[in-house]
Structure 1
Amino acid sequence: MRRVVIVGAGPTGLGAAHRLQELGHDDFILLEGRSGPGGLASSEVSRNGFTYDIGGHVLFSHFRYFDELFDRVLGDEYQELQREAWVWMMDRFLPYPFQNNIKHLPRDVVLACVLGAIEAQARERAQPFTSFEELIYGVFGKGMAEAFMMPYNFKVWAHPPRMMGTGWIGERVPVVNLERVLGNVIHDRDDLSWGPNNTFKYPLHGGTGGLFERVAARVDGRIRYESQVVGIDARRKRLRLADGQEEEYEQLISTMPLDLLVGLLGDAPTAVTQATQMLLHSGSAVVGVGVRQPCPSSKCWMYFPEPDCPFYRVTYLSNYSPEVVPDARTHYSLLAEVSRSVYKPVSLTSVVEEVLDGFVNTRLLSPADLADVVDTHLIVREYTYPIPTLRRDEALAVIQPYLESFDIYSRGRFGAWKYEIGNMDHSVQMGVECAERLVRGTPELCFRDRILPKSEQELGLLPETVLPPRPLPAGVRAGVRARRRAAASA
């Protein structure tokens, strides 16, 4: 049995730990630099008792394993919701997706969008699109590109679309069905059903973090919190921690950002370190706002392409669960996401005020409503979106094989550095499949961006009754007791 060390107790690390434990592989430990689990899928409770996620997360799944894990750890403690997504532009809301609902826009804009789409789709192409910007203009046409697609995508990615490739798109970007677009305009028809997440689930308690806290509880004795990795000796297979301790491994599953992982190696070849320069990312400032009023809307989330507000998306988070606010009869909450990068700098000292101004500009709040704002909470993260840049895949083809030659498996949203497999369900699945590979030799699929229909998936939870007993190493037991004592005295 080979010793496995997992770095990061987010969805991928927890998925790997959970599967190793299921398989009876006892020689593993999970190291987490923060004081709790969940990573980007964790949630925070403000000083006034509002729960906020790190972005507008919802739970929908491509995987049997994730579904079964969700059911096992949450039981019936979740909400199931019908998506109600909107776009705010030109002083009005229109249903999402934008291109299927342009009938709500001014007539001259509708005409420009339709003519642009017709012209774009009539144009013959001998070569594939070379960038996301080229695809936007080539598929949507100039009208839709300039009205929504270009400004919105810069706001969400914080990078110009000309820097991005196209291989990641898949189901992430709704493209143009010209017959559908024209039919909706002519027949004055709303079109609301596009997308894989038109129905979704959400934990009743604790936000999205509540789900992963429950998963973490199932492997709690294997997690060592506040254990930040600051150095890796890949040849000796040793990790150096911030507190000076060292941890030996035979196989390492890392979920930290891939560029940071390579930086911790110290002696990686020049080609590998140079490849990390092709990996770009955005950070975020997530602003939660609590309002002492009954919720005025049934909306789930809204997109904002225009420059009169700093956020690209706002979620009525209290519509997902009444438990994320102190009293859902008298309070509601909004969650605004603001992206940031060197191409789109954001002042963290003024972003909360700018978000509130943006709420007024977009009529989410009136000036008088500001008196009823009883909570604001700022969450800052440096890594939020791995950007699918033009040379990303070239970089990954250099970095990942080098790491695996030293038994280092970099997985997860930023470990794999693939946005297209970066949702919570993908992230859990990557961890589970990596554990399967290390213990059973089963080939990974999700990491290779191969997703079978659920009806064809064999990987599922094992019955709990067959799990062998798992005595914990003395050092792990001591660490758990210390963390619990610290939490009890906090």
Structure 2
Amino acid sequence: MHVTHLIIGAGPTGLGAGWRLHELGARDFLLLEREAHAGGLSASFTDDAGFTWDLGGHVVFSHYDYFDRLLDSLLGEDQLWHERIARVRMADGWVPYPFQNNIRHLPPDLAWRCVEGLLPGRRPEGRPESFQDWMLAVFGQGVADLFMLPYNFKVWATPAARMSWQWIGERVSVVDLERVVKNIVLQQNDVSWGPNNKFRFPLHGGTGEIYRRLARRIEDRIRYQTPVVALDATTRTVRTADGQQITYDHLLSTAPLDLLVRQWLAEAPPALVEAATLLEHNGVVVSGIGTDSPRVDPTCWMYFPEANCPFYRLTNFHNYSPNNVPAPGCRGLMCETSFSAHKPEQLEAVTAAAEQGLRNVRMLDPDAGVRTRWEAVLPYGYPVPTLGRDRALAAIQPWLEAREIYSRGRFGGWRYEVANMDHSLMQGVEWADRMLQSTPEKTYTIPEC
């Protein structure tokens, strides 16, 4: 079988590409999806108890008019809008997010540690070499020790000294001493920072409903339960697990880039394989704890830098849509715990530890009953922006593109800074525009070393 445009993966990037090809009148394309469902890491599931869960704490916000219009056409009236309420758990209390702007909520001794680290002459100067250096230079020792360093290790499962800092952009709120002191003296909260201050969410079906509806528009071009096992760049042939061989003119891969290079690619040059070893990622266990123990708590999500629970983030998923739980008064508590070689976890015990952690941080009362426990283990959670990442991408991506192989998406592109849901879908859209209209891509660019 031969197709002009072959797409590996029916997550946001692959579906965005397929839909845009369809919009532009192309029909000779095919999506191969290893799972029995669309959505990739943005899929959602409803368990036997009637609780709906996402594969992590997704919120839908956008940098693109195209993405906004597409969502409106997919969801119509079946969507809800929320204003973000986020908090950080510390010292047996809550600090509004962003932490560094709201340290007045800390005990006085901890608040002073934060301010002291921000005073003139207390922060390192000069160009930082790593994410850890950047945190100390920007936030000072106090904020770094209390929040930034422990929280980021819990998220990335990677020491900050191994990570670059150039990816940060709008991902991390920086700090201003005058602003911090003003908030303390005037006793005011400062919570409006960030692109996700307002977000939307599907009324039914979790985040995955977006991609179920989009997939239905091009259903005849998707083959589910069809994992790819090999790729020959010379003959432009993909082989699937069931023995199919599909040739193509142009290939979009949204599979993990390290997997593509190190396992699928026939006769990959040694330099390419060596470059792929520089690509690091963590894994994430998503633990859903459903309870019918009611509590009034408008918080959307919470961050946990301390060691009294294994998860780095907890989402009040019942607050996103009343249809995420089976009945009024139920709560869906969705916990995320990372793991890696730098931060090993006993995967079979993570959800039990998360449940105990909920009790430790008083999000679950000691006598509260649990109605359901749901779990998803994601071997690929976040692509980690390590010090060697850009060097790897600069070696791998041009080689692939010279052979009409385009690797995009959260793990296909391996660039966390453009791996939001909107970024990921638009990477597929812009790839389709490039293929059919020779329009340069804007969202995904290949770093130069």
Q: TM-score, normalised by structure 2?
A: 0.97
Match of 1:457 in 2: none
Identity %: 50
Partner AA of 1:229 in structure 2: V
Match of 1:37 in 2: 38
Match of 2:179 in 1: 180
Displacement, 1:178?
Answer: 1.3
Match of 1:468 in 2: none
C-alpha distance after superposition, 1:176-228 (max 9, x if no partner): 11111110111111111111111100001110001110111111111000010
Match of 2:95 in 1: 94
Partner AA of 2:286 in structure 1: V
SS at match of 2:336: strand
Partner AA of 2:197 in structure 1: N
Distance 1:84 1:305, change over 3 A: same
Structure 1 segments of 4 or more deviating over 6 A? none
Match of 1:378 in 2: 375
C-alpha distance after superposition, 1:105-144 (max 9, x if no partner): 111111111010124676543xx21100001111111111
CA distance in 2, matches of 1:193, 1:401: 40
Partner AA of 2:429 in structure 1: V
Unpaired stretches in structure 2, ≥5 consecutive residues: none
Match of 1:312 in 2: 312
Given that 1:120 and 1:139 are in contact with CA atoms closer than 8 Å, whether structure 2 keeps it comes out as no
Given that 2:254 and 2:409 are in contact with CA atoms closer than 8 Å, whether structure 1 keeps it comes out as yes
Given that 1:55 and 1:337 are in contact with CA atoms closer than 8 Å, whether structure 2 keeps it comes out as yes
CA distance in 1, matches of 2:98, 2:446: 25
C-alpha distance after superposition, 1:133-157 (max 9, x if no partner): 0011111111111011100000000
Distance 1:344 1:378, change over 3 A: same
Match of 2:207 in 1: 208
C-alpha distance after superposition, 1:423-476 (max 9, x if no partner): 0000000000000000111000001289xxxxxxxxxxxxxxxxxxxxxxxxxx
CA distance in 2, matches of 1:306, 1:355: 13
CA distance in 1, matches of 2:38, 2:121: 47
Given that 2:281 and 2:384 are in contact with CA atoms closer than 8 Å, whether structure 1 keeps it comes out as yes
Match of 2:112 in 1: 111
Matched, 1:418 2:409: no
C-alpha distance after superposition, 1:63-93 (max 9, x if no partner): 1111010000100100100100000011001
Given that 2:233 and 2:266 are in contact with CA atoms closer than 8 Å, whether structure 1 keeps it comes out as no
2:399 alignment partner, one of 392, 398, 402: 402
Given that 1:151 and 1:306 are in contact with CA atoms closer than 8 Å, whether structure 2 keeps it comes out as yes
Residue range with higher mean Cα deviation, 343-352 or 9-18: 343-352
SS at match of 2:337: strand
Given that 1:52 and 1:335 are in contact with CA atoms closer than 8 Å, whether structure 2 keeps it comes out as yes
Matched, 1:291 2:288: no
Matches within 5 A, 1:225-374: 225-263=224-262, 264-327=264-327, 329-369=328-368, 372-374=369-371
Match of 1:12 in 2: 13
SS at match of 1:171: helix
Given that 1:120 and 1:138 are in contact with CA atoms closer than 8 Å, whether structure 2 keeps it comes out as no
C-alpha distance after superposition, 1:393-420 (max 9, x if no partner): 0110000000001100000000110000
SS at match of 1:44: strand
Given that 2:123 and 2:141 are in contact with CA atoms closer than 8 Å, whether structure 1 keeps it comes out as no
Given that 1:120 and 1:141 are in contact with CA atoms closer than 8 Å, whether structure 2 keeps it comes out as no
Given that 2:3 and 2:247 are in contact with CA atoms closer than 8 Å, whether structure 1 keeps it comes out as no
Q: TM-score, normalised by structure 1?
A: 0.89
C-alpha distance after superposition, 1:325-362 (max 9, x if no partner): 111x1311010000010111111211111001100110
CA distance in 1, matches of 2:4, 2:446: 27
Given that 1:238 and 1:246 are in contact with CA atoms closer than 8 Å, whether structure 2 keeps it comes out as yes
CA distance in 2, matches of 1:352, 1:13: 31
> Number of residues paired by the alignment?
445
Given that 2:8 and 2:253 are in contact with CA atoms closer than 8 Å, whether structure 1 keeps it comes out as yes
